[in-house]
A and B are shown apart, each in its own frame.
Chain A
Amino acid sequence: MAEATNNQASGAATTGAAPGGAGAPDRPVKVVGIVCNWCSYAGADTAGVGRFKQPANLRLIRVPCTGRIDPLFALKAFEKGADGVLISGCHPGDCHYSEGNYYARRKFELAERMIHHLGIPPERFKWTWVSASEGQRWQKVVTEFVAGVQKLGPREGKAL
């Protein structure tokens, strides 16, 4: 069953970036991020050291390589109620283990379609590349992704 793209729940005060129009979200969304140790986790560190402010909705899980990420992790996160899932690793060609991100790319190209097929809008799932020196890019990726998810609002119950 496809979820509604606007949360109709009422009640609690709005905290997140409320979109104009109907269906303002009643709580900040929660986004699970799974990132590789060498590029994107370090890129998030670089963003922190540079004090590049970001929305506080992201929770990061560190793995050695995007090649270690089973698409199951993203599906599990959606099953457990994540409002968005962000995967990030090294740019093509830059993988610390030579080619892990290529395997990840293949998997997530497919996983992305499957996730959409399950009724989760594309704005809720993203995979991308951020290198260890790209603190500013990390800030941009997180800010834009969270804003997109927040616009849809929290998911209503299990979609899986």
Chain B
Amino acid sequence: MRIGVFVCHCGSNIAGTVDVAELAKRALTLKDVVYSDHPMYTCSEPGQAGIQQAIKDKKLDRVVVSACSPHMHEQTFRRTVEGAGMNPYLMEMANIREHCSWIHPDMAEGTEKAWEIIKMAVAKARQLEPLYANEVSVNKDVLIIGGGVAGIQAALDLADAGLKVTIVEKETTIGGTMAKLDKTFPTIDCSACILTPRMVDCSQHENITLMTYSEVEKVSGYVGNFTVDIRRKAAMVDWNKCVGCDVCVQKCPAKAPNLFDEGLEPTKAIYIPFPQAVPKRAAIQVDYCRYFQTGKCKVCERVCPAGAIDYEQKDTSVTKEFGAIVVATGLEVFPWEEHYSEYGGGKIKDVISGLQYERMLNASGPYGGHVRRMSDGADPKTVVFIQCVGSRDESVNRPYCSSVCCMYTAKQALLTKDHCGMDTDVYVFYIDIRATGKGYEEFIKRVQTEFGVKYVRGRVSKLYEQDGKVMVRGTDTLLGEQVEIPADLVVLASGIQPADGAKQLAQTLNISYDEFGFMKEGHPKLRPVETNTAGVFLAGVCQAPKDIPATVAQASGTASKVIGLLAKDKLKTSPQIAVVNQKNCVSCWKCIEVCPFSAPEKQELRDGTYKSHVIETVCQGCGICVATCPVNTIELKGFTTDAILDQIEEVLQSQL
């Protein structure tokens, strides 16, 4: 065996705290190591060329790259050695950056640990064997979970590229949060005017299937071949007959909370969220329906001209196959009422959230676009905005910036002046103004100078009611003094968080998420729309807070990645999978019991006996069966028991 070891400087990232030249020298003392080097940047063009040259000149048959995490560059170096004619699975990485140089500031300590990491990698390299990828065919249909602007953009891009797309949306209409917005910053474009034509495009596109009022229940399979169970919730209305005429909504006698209007005013138990809904179909909120609660009413059934009401309707389930999945589940508003008792905890009527104010401003909202006090309906003369409510606040476990509030607050402040008159007093309490997008800073300046919105730097400590006003008590940290403003209406720039159920969905899809439920991208810089589960992609706020331009850009980025994936007719599968040595198999079928993917099967041999056999293209290489097999006759390629034990032995050599 002829092993080559390459110890990367990574500039000063590794060489700053690890003596790479010394390690390259020491590596030559290891058994089977015939060549070593310490390139400045191993992943650079000359670095990779150096490896390829050494493979040829020194006739290397194993390569150990001692550099960064395999999550960073394993693929890179596999391609490198493959380029020199070596099997890519004969390359092993020693992670001496993330797991060593970056966490151990002491040179002597770092070098000694790196030395052991390299020895372990060499021990593993000796156990490597050439592996060859299989190919599977690819289903070219795409599932998009979430029908907000991210899902819509991705769907249209994919459908235009000729792929069949299914959008699954949990509400009765697509549109998401953007459909609730009145205007968008910094252009003050009408949100609906931009979005609703795209919603209609989705419903009319021959390649797009809309499944609204539906949820993803179960996902199995793998990249190129996912099987997904989708549950259609019972709307109690036959949508094939319903034409969205709204008569039932007008006649329904029962009130229900209006979630689309953020609870400002109630809607009816049978409802259509908003006039431009796509599809424009009615649904019954059973918990509020008089018929379902008391057994009497049936007004909607009597008035429906299409005969669409169906009180017997049940949830239905469909199973569909997809090649790729895009998650675009978006956001919900931080539930500030539960966390900010100093702001009244939701008990002061004239304190509302930013998204509620958005509905108030909207012409198709509950007040026809008329800004009013919630307590008495009067026109407000003084409006106060408070930023960072549920953002940048560790006391409520929301340390992150919601990224959109500075800008939407400025927009709403401008619209307040526009709706209520320029003589209205408008204040904004802020910590910092974050206006980093194109034209954003200019917009803030315009709001401050042209519209005379007064920005006060400081936090508001308390809101309380006095003489029909909401008293806003805070500090102006620039002037260093207490301020108290009697306001008619207070709007909280409530932060955003992942949509309800995002964590459960992430678990269903086997993708990672952070403590807040934002889903984790493959790499923050290099794989921003992929997840670590092949074939599952991200778009929009489900990944991190972002505004509409960034969401749309990410959705298009995701679409292009999906198109790239599905442009191939066959996909290579990882050969690092489980293989049964049938000679020792005792046919206990424990492997079949534990496999989450149904990869092992009973295979009939010539003598009529049955032994376990792992289907190569189904196996995902987890190795659960390997550790379960009572006679140790299943081996996991690339992570063999011998390789693991050799690493343990190597690192403990000097212990006893």
Contacts and interface: CB of A to CB of B under 8 A. Distances in A.
Contacts of A69: 627
Contacts of A100: 596, 622-624
A132 interface: yes
Contact of A67 (B104, B109, B623): B623
Interface string A63-101: 111011110010011001111000000000111111110
B117 interface: yes
B102 interface: yes
A113 interface: no
B515 A133 contact: yes
A60 interface: yes
B69 A48 contact: yes
A32 interface: yes
Given A49-B98, A132-B520, A103 B104 contact: no
A71 B263 CA distance: 54
Given A45-B71, A53-B104, A100-B596, A68 B624 contact: yes
B520 to A, nearest CB: 6
A116 interface: no
Given A56-B104, A67-B627, A95-B510, A73 B644 contact: yes
B512 A39 contact: yes
Contacts of B116: 59
A80 B655 contact: yes
A32 B648 CA distance: 7
B510 A96 contact: yes
Interface in A93-118: 93-100, 103, 107
B306 interface: no
Contacts of A65: 622-624
Contacts of B99: 44-45, 48, 60
Contacts of B655: 30, 80-83
Nearest to B114: A56
A77 B648 contact: yes
Contacts of A93: 507
Interface residues of A, number: 51
B166 interface: no
A157 B623 CA distance: 32
A64 B621 contact: yes
B103 A48 contact: yes
A24 interface: no
Contacts of B644: 34, 61, 63, 73
B652 A67 contact: no
Contacts of B645: 73, 76
Contact of A45 (B69, B533, B594): B69
Interface in B493-524: 506-507, 510, 512-515, 520
Nearest to B628: A103
B97 A63 contact: no
A47 B656 contact: no
Nearest to B510: A96
Contacts of A68: 622-624, 626-627, 636, 639
Interface of A is mostly: loop
B647 interface: yes
B512 A97 contact: no
B651 interface: yes
A135 to B, nearest CB: 10
A82 B652 CA distance: 6
A32 B512 contact: no
A131 B503 CA distance: 13
A63 B104 contact: no
A54 interface: yes
Contacts of A132: 512, 520, 532
Given A48-B103, A64-B622, A98 B596 contact: yes
Given A32-B652, A107-B627, A133-B514, A97 B622 contact: yes
Contacts of A44: 98-99
Given A45-B69, A51-B102, A80 B648 contact: yes
Given A68-B639, A73-B644, A80-B655, A97 B103 contact: no
Given A81-B655, A100-B623, 7 more contacts: A30-B651, A44-B99, A49-B98, A61-B648, A64-B622, A73-B648, A97-B510
16 contacts: A30-B651, A44-B99, A48-B99, A54-B104, A56-B104, A56-B110, A56-B113, A60-B95, A67-B624, A68-B624, A68-B636, A77-B652, A94-B513, A96-B622, A99-B596, A132-B520
Interface of A: 30, 32, 34, 38-39, 41-42, 44-45, 47-49, 51-54, 56, 59-65, 67-70, 73, 76-77, 80-83, 93-100, 103, 107, 131-134, 157-158
